[in-house]
Amino acid sequence: MPSNSLIYLDAAATTPCADDVIKEMIKFNKSNYGNPSSTHILGRLARSAILESASHISELIGCTSAEIIFTSGATESNNIAILGSAPPDSNSNIIICPIDHKSSLLAAEELEKRNVEIRRMKVDSNGRVNLPHLHSLLDTNTSLLSISYVNSEIGTFQNLVEIKKALEKSNALFHIDAAQALGKLPINVKQLGVDCASISAHKIEGPKGIGALYVSSSCMSRLRPLTFGGGQSSLRSGTLPTQLIAGFGAAARRLKSKDYPASWAAAKQLRDAILETLNKHQISYVINSPDNVSTPHILNISLPAIRSETLISCLRNVCISSGSACNSNNLAPSYVITGIGHDAIRANSAIRFSFTSDMDIKTVRKGAESLSQTVLQLTQLNNRNK
């Protein structure tokens, strides 16, 4: 099926590259293709492009260019922050959120295998951290607290100000996975008081395969690198992919003048349009995304008696998901939905709509209409088979 006939409502998984991003990348694939570590003219041109991109990205999140470490994406960034924060067989402990992205959870599990204690925060029914419990987890041996700013499945955003207050008497590094927050919420890492932040280009209409880890200059020496080689940065070795970094820089540049309140309002209109369409067809659903503490760009609902994977496979022209794309091969119930207190039945019927705020509302309504018709057909089929 031609892609222009599809209705894409899975922007939390990835976004298409913007035209100006592609244009910028082509330049470094065809002509200025030098290795940025080389000292000749093509190498210097590539290096200059990388420095310019780092400047755009650092300006977007409120840090210096020297505090940007380029990685292959937020997954690698999370791994560097978590695995690099606590030496094996040490007395250190790290604190994580149990409904965060798998890249954080599995990196923590790997540390656990290396005899590092992992402490898991409790969350409430909205997916927000239980602050009194967090206080009880912290001690002088806590080396890192890691949490997603915006949850990738239900859109809940955390109160980073209060979490930072909990860390005031601790020497722990404060790491956020900001992959889902970038472009949805304004981010200034200095004002937020975070020491490390993971971001990805492909969530903001940039290319796949490139991301960054912000590390405060005062904390850089507290993390250990996971890869060794040419020493392109203090925490990561490897030839830098100039064309991808140039694309990331172009995507970041597009966001610097973004009107976040207007974007938020537009996303809320799209969210409401989906729910209005479902209501028009009297579709039974329950909302898993909390209305008051989640970004409107992500809407997670459960449809009773219809498994999410069955629905997704029956949709011919609408792209949605049943959770994070990184977990799509796992048929187990969503650990995020069960993690906020719901049962496996509700988790197995959960679907996620996600969209950029500039999507055409007529297209979104058309997608919700197509989904509603499919739900009605599946409901009739289920009733016949009873």
C-alpha span between 7 and 26 (Å, rounded): 27
Only one residue has tokens 């694309």, namely 247
Using CA atoms, how far residue 134 sits from 123, 174, 207, 327, in Å, is 10, 13, 36, 27
Q: Contact, 364 vs 355, CB < 8 A?
A: yes
Q: Contact, 338 vs 156, CB < 8 A?
A: no
Catalytic pick among 219, 314, 319, 326: 326
Is 63 one of the catalytic residues?
Answer: no
R_g of the chain computed on alpha carbons: 21
Q: Contact, 135 vs 281, CB < 8 A?
A: no
Residue 175, strand partner residues: 146, 196
Using CA atoms, how far residue 86 sits from 92, 111, 221, in Å, is 6, 8, 12
Could you give the residue numbers annotated as active site?
A: 326
